[in-house]
Chains A and B, each alone.
Chain A
Amino acid sequence: MAEIPILDIQGVDKTYTLGDQRIEALRGANLTVHKGEFVCLIGASGCGKSTLLRIVAGFEQPSAGSALMWSKPIAQPGPDRGMVFQDYGLFPWLTVRENIAFGPKSRGLGQAEVRDIVERFVSLVGLTRFADAHPHQLSGGMKQRVAIARVLANDAEVVLMDEPFGALDAMTRERLQDELLDLWQRTGLTVLFVTHSIEEAIFLADRVVVMEPGPGRIASEHRITLPRPRDVSSPEFNDVRRDLSSRLHSHHAKKAA
């Protein structure tokens, strides 16, 4: 592909020192993501998928290699890359409306403009009735909707999601997956989504990136060509799941051997 990728990760290493121990969280990660793509990172814990996401977010700096967005090095967190955390990260002292307004206000938009944006995104995620509630009054699914709205209201080009539905019950999870896909298709967002569920990855992604631990690295990439909307109970879906699952396990078996 000749076009410039929105995200370009080249040879990224990340090592931490914990006391006198060096921990290699990520070694030689290469990943390019094009605008509008939905990419899932999947792997066992310790494979560096969250580290990679945090590097793209700008929360961490790579120890070696480069992380570029639109060919510019990612130096710090910014509104162009919105993060949705598994534990929501909402400001508990702000209402739903104020949480969504936080980003636009921080960027110095005018009052009227902020109000318009907030109303638009509150209704986009279906929380109009709860717009003046505080986070502790909301269910997990509603909190995650606020977190997503907060990122979208801030004009994020890339949405980074770190196991965002991991803490939700199965029903809410499925519904939010549908809603996320719907949003993604309507807005042309680029999504980088970390999960440990094979099914979730195949259901959502254009491309699944399989990662392995010890040291964390990218093992393989798989393009998912199933037509959307995808049916998790269809035989085709099952074939892909079986294939991906066996690859994941063979990676692990290799490591264990």
Chain B
Amino acid sequence: MSEATAPSQGALAAPSSAGTAKLFARARAALLALIVPALLLFGWHMAVKAGMTRLIPSPADVAEYMVDFVVGGIWDDAFSATMHLHLWASVQRVYGGFALAALAAVPLGLLIGRIPLVAQLFDPFLQLMRPIPVTAWLPLSMILFGLGTKSAFFLVFLGAFYPILLNTVFGVRSVDPRLFEAASMLGCRGNAQFFKVVLPAALPSIFTGLRLGLGLAWFVIVVGEMTGVPQGLGAVIMDGRTLSRTELVICGMIVIGIAGFVSDRIVVMLMNRLLRWSPLHRG
């Protein structure tokens, strides 16, 4: 066979001289993304100024508390310059619980998706357990694991477990049967197909599950830290509530939001690297 035809989608074409155009497009995207939050902030500011609420501080107040929370030097109370401690405590629980969930859910999902007996053993039980909200586990988790870190770990684990498991099972079950035929006619049969076909083919779904799971881990952390841990962003929010310090609650929310966003971007970056072959998988 002689020469090759041109690629269909031009995906191999070198990026054109559009360095500046790309930069401009990025700046535009960033600007557009800022409009809605800016309007919201403005509305919030105006609402507080007009005296519509006494319980919620103005954005400027929150910003001031935020600075104090991060670096201190303004109010010098129990929460000044403690942000990093709380953040670190939460990050450990989120990633710890998430890692544990991934370690359990990915292999279990691969087995459930692939081996009918394992599916028959676990599927009905897991389907029954899944609708129970993580919050409902709180009292039981406190009895089982006591007040504190272990309980938070467990709840984060539970929150992240199901999305990872379900997406892994889905990924394994939706592998194109053609690929098994292709592998077997090329001499790769039986268990060898597990690592050569099933795992790589299911990887996009597994990553979707991991991404959802990590998002939920951040989601659950507030509940997890309601269990009486001294440190953590969830604990800060709970303390803020008990002390009627709304600005503290909002600061905790903002830090969780940013931390969750950053960790999602990390997963997406990893995903884009590992799944370069999949045109549909661009986050």
- What band does the interface of chain B fall in when counting residues whose beta carbon is under 8 Å from A? 20 to 34
Residues of chain A lying within 8 A (CB to CB) of residue B184? 58-59, 76-77
Does A48 make an interface contact (CB < 8 A)?
A: no
- Residue A92 CB within 8 A of the other chain: yes
Bound-state CA distance A77–B9 (Å) is: 34
CB nearest neighbor in A for B197: A91
Does B11 belong to the interface (CB within 8 Å)?
yes
A94 partner residues in chain B, CB cutoff 8 A: 277
CA distance A107 to B187 in the complex (A): 6
Q: Which of A79, A107, A137, A145 is B185 in contact with, Cβ under 8 Å?
A: A79
User: CA separation between A87 and B187, bound complex, in Å?
Assistant: 20
State whether B1 touches A83 (Cβ < 8 A): no
What CA separation (Å) do A200 and B6 show in the bound complex? Answer: 24
Central interface residue in A94, A106, A140, A151, by most chain B CB within 10 Å: A106
**Nearest-Cβ distance from residue A16 to partner chain B, whole angstroms:** 16
- Interface membership of B189, Cβ < 8 A: yes
* Contact assessment for A150 and B186 in the assembled complex, using a CB-CB cutoff below 8 Å: yes
Within 194-211 of B, Cβ neighbours of A (below 8 Å) are at: 196-197, 200-201, 203
* A85 to B, closest residue via Cβ: B178
Scoring B11, B184, B278 by chain A CB atoms within 10 A of each residue's CB, the highest score goes to: B184
CA distance A161 to B178 in the complex (A): 14
Q: Which residue of A89, A125, A127, A130 contacts B178 across the interface (Cβ within 8 Å)?
A: A89
Task: Report yes or no: B12 in contact with A82, Cβ–Cβ below 8 A.
Answer: no
Taking the nearest CB of chain A, how far is it from the CB of B270, in angstroms?
A: 15
Asked if A185 lies at the interface with its beta carbon under 8 angstroms from chain B, I say no
A26 to B276, CA, bound (A): 43
Give the nearest-CB partner of A171 in chain B.
Answer: B5
B279: interface (CB < 8 Å): yes
Q: Pick the residue among B12, B186, B201 that contacts A93 (CB under 8 A).
A: B201
Q: Tell me the smallest distance from the CB of B174 to a CB of chain A, in Å.
A: 13
Query: In the bound complex, do residue B203 and residue A136 qualify as a contact, i.e. CB atoms below 8 Å apart?
Result: no
Q: Mark B169-202, 1 if CB is under 8 A from A, else 0.
A: 0000000101101111111110010001100110
Name A179's closest neighbour in chain B (CB-CB): B1
Whether the pair B181, A126 counts as a contact (CB closer than 8 A) is no
Contact B5 A93 (CB under 8 A): no
- Asked whether, in the complex, the Cβ of A137 is within 8 Å of the Cβ of B178, the reply is no
Residue B131 at the A interface, CB < 8 A? no
Please tell me if the beta carbons of B1 and A91 are within 8 angstroms of each other in the complex. no
Q: Chain A residues near B19: list those with CB within 8 A.
A: none
Give the docked Cα–Cα distance between A91 and B175 (Å): 11
Write the B264-279 contact mask toward A (1 if CB under 8 angstroms, else 0). Answer: 0000000000001111
Q: Does A124 contact B (CB under 8 A)?
A: yes
Docked pose: A103 CA to B2 CA in angstroms:
23
CA–CA, A179 to B1, complex, Å? 5
Q: How far is the CA of A245 from the CA of B191 in the complex (A)?
A: 47
Give the shortest distance, in Å, between B11 (CB) and chain A (any CB): 4
- How far, in angstroms, from A172 to B5 measured CA to CA in the complex? 8
Which chain B residues numbered 203 to 228 have a C-beta less than 8 Å away from chain A? Answer: 203
Q: Are B187 and A138 in contact (CB under 8 A)?
A: no
Can you list, as one digit per residue, whether each of B15-42 has a CB less than 8 Å from chain A (1) or not (0)?
Answer: 0000000000000000000000000000
Is A154 in contact with B5, judged by CB distance below 8 angstroms? no
Closest to A172 in B: B5
A134 CB–B CB distance under 8 Å: yes
Q: Does A139 contact B (CB under 8 A)?
A: yes
Q: Answer yes or no: A57 CB below 8 A from chain B CBs.
A: yes
B interface footprint on A4-25 (CB within 8 Å = 1, 0 otherwise) = 0000000000000000000000
> Is B78 an interface residue when CB atoms closer than 8 A count as contact?
no
User: What is the minimal beta-carbon distance from A224 to any residue of chain B, in angstroms?
Assistant: 23
Whether the pair A83, B182 counts as a contact (CB closer than 8 A) is: yes
Decide: B185 and A81 in contact? CB cutoff 8 A: yes
A182 and B181 within 8 A (CB): no
**Can you list 21 pairs linking A and B with CB atoms under 8 Å apart?**
A57-B185, A59-B181, A76-B184, A77-B184, A79-B185, A83-B185, A85-B181, A89-B176, A89-B181, A91-B200, A91-B201, A102-B186, A106-B186, A106-B187, A126-B3, A130-B12, A137-B11, A137-B12, A139-B7, A154-B187, A176-B1
Residues of A with Cβ closer than 8 Å to B?
57-59, 76-79, 81-83, 85, 87, 89-94, 102-103, 106-107, 124-127, 129-130, 133-142, 145, 148, 150-151, 154, 172, 176, 179, 182-183
Give the interface of B toward A (CB within 8 A). Answer: 1-9, 11-12, 176, 178-179, 181-189, 192, 196-197, 200-201, 203, 276-279
Q: 17 other contacts beyond A79-B186, A107-B187, with CB at 8 A cut-off? A: A58-B184, A58-B185, A59-B185, A76-B184, A77-B184, A79-B185, A79-B187, A82-B186, A83-B182, A91-B201, A102-B188, A106-B192, A134-B277, A139-B7, A141-B5, A142-B4, A151-B185
